[in-house]
Amino acid sequence: MQTISHLSVLVHDQARKYGDREALVYKDFGGEEWKSCSWNLFSQTVKTVSNAMLNLGVRVQENIGIFSQNSVQYLYCDFGAWGVRAVTIPFYATCSEQQIEFMVNDARVRFLFVGEQEQYDKAHRVFSLCDTLERIIIFDRNVRKSPHDPNSLYFDDFLKLGENLPRQTEVEALYGQANPVDLANILYTSGTTGNSKGVMLSHGQYNAALIANGKSVDVSDRDRVLDFLPFAHIFEKGWALLSISVGATLIVNTYPQEVQKSMRETHPTSMSAVPRFWEKVYAGVQEQIESSHPVQRKIFRNALAVGRKHNVEYVMRGKRPPLALHLEYKIINKTIFSLVRKELGLENPNIFPTAGATVSSHVEEFVHSIGINMVVGYGLTESLATVSCDRSDEPVTIGSVGRPLDGVEVKISEDGEVLLKGPTITRGYYNRDDLNEQVFDSEGYFRTGDAGYMKDGELFLTERIKDLFKTSNGKYIAPQMIEAKLLVDRYIDQIAIVADRRKFVSALIIPEYRLLEEYAREHGISFKCREELCASPEIYEMMKDRIDTLQQQLAHYEQIKRFTLLPNHFNMERGELTNTLKMKRRVINENYSAEIDKMYEE
Check residue 480 and give its pLDDT.
83
| Side-chain-side CA neighbours of residue 107 (13 Å) | 34
Chain segment 200-229, per-residue pLDDT in tens: 999 999 999 999 999 999 999 999 999 999
In a domain, 22, yes or no: yes
For the chain, the average pLDDT equals 93
Q: Is the pLDDT of residue 192 over 50?
A: no
pLDDT value of residue 194: 54
User: What CATH number has the domain bearing residue 250?
Assistant: 3.40.50.12780
Q: What is the pLDDT of residue 473?
A: 66
CA distance 148 to 33: 34
Residue 317 one-letter amino acid: R
pLDDT digits (tens, 9 = 90+) for 404-427: 999 999 999 988 899 999 999 999
Could you tell me if residue 274 is left (phi over 0), alpha (psi between -120 and 50 degrees) or otherwise beta? beta
Highest-confidence segment of 335-349, 481-495, 569-583: 335-349
pLDDT (tens digit per residue) in 433-472: 888 988 999 999 999 988 899 999 999 998 777 676 767 6
Q: 39-56 and 168-177 are packed helices; what angle lies between their axes, rounded to 10 degrees? A: 100
Q: Give CA–CA dist 348/373, Å, rounded.
A: 11
- The enclosing domain of 495 has a CATH number of 3.30.300.30
Q: In this structure, is residue 202 part of a structural domain?
A: no
Sequence-distant (6+) residues with CB within 8 A of 216 are 386, 389, 391, 405, 406
pLDDT at 193: 45
Coil, helix or strand for 498? Answer: strand
Q: What is the pLDDT, as a whole number, of residue 437?
A: 86
Mean local confidence (pLDDT), 379-384: 94
For residue 557, the model assigns a pLDDT of 78
In a domain, 413, yes or no: no
Residue 101 confidence (pLDDT) above 70: yes
pLDDT digits (tens, 9 = 90+) for 506-541: 999 999 999 999 999 999 999 999 999 999 999 999
The DSSP element (H or E) to which 410 belongs, if any, is strand 409-412
Structural domain contains residue 552: yes
Of 229, 256, 271, which residue is a domain's last? 271
Strand partners, 404: 388
CA angle centred on 265, ends 261 and 267, rounded to 5°: 110
C-alpha to C-alpha distance for 539 and 534, rounded to whole angstroms: 7
Given a cut of 50, whether residue 242 has pLDDT beyond it is yes
The model's pLDDT over 313-345, given as tens digits with 9 standing for 90+, comes to 999 999 999 999 999 999 999 999 999 999 999
**Is 524 a domain residue?**
yes
Per the structure, the count of domains in the chain is 2
* pLDDT above 90: residue 306: yes
pLDDT, tens digit, 9 for 90 and up, residues 103-148: 999 999 999 999 999 999 999 999 999 999 999 999 999 999 999 8
Domain-ending residue, one of 255, 271, 287: 271
Mean pLDDT, rounded, for 256-281: 92
Quick: pLDDT tens for 58-96: 999 999 999 999 999 999 999 999 999 999 999 999 888
Give the model confidence (pLDDT) of 24-63 as tens digits: 999 999 999 999 999 999 999 999 999 999 999 999 999 9
Q: Is residue 489 domain-resident?
A: yes
Query: What pLDDT, on a 0 to 100 scale, did the predictor assign at position 353?
Result: 95
- Which alpha helices (DSSP H) does 3-38 contain, by range? 10-18
Report if residue 51 sits inside a domain. yes
Domain boundary among 240, 255, 271: 271
pLDDT in tens, 166-187: 999 999 999 999 999 999 999 9
Q: What are the pLDDT digits (tens) for 348-378?
A: 999 999 987 778 888 999 999 999 999 999 9
CA–CA separation, 461 and 438 (whole Å): 22
Q: Which amino acid, residue 239?
A: W
Confidence of residue 474 (pLDDT cuts 50, 70, 90): low
Nearest to 400 by CA among 415, 387, 414, 417: 387
In a domain, 196, yes or no: no
Can you give the pLDDT at residue 302? 95
Contacts of 149 (CB under 8 A, 6+ apart): 124, 136
Its domain, for residue 93, covers: 10-178+217-271
Task: Give the Cα separation of 174 and 168 in Å (integer).
Answer: 10
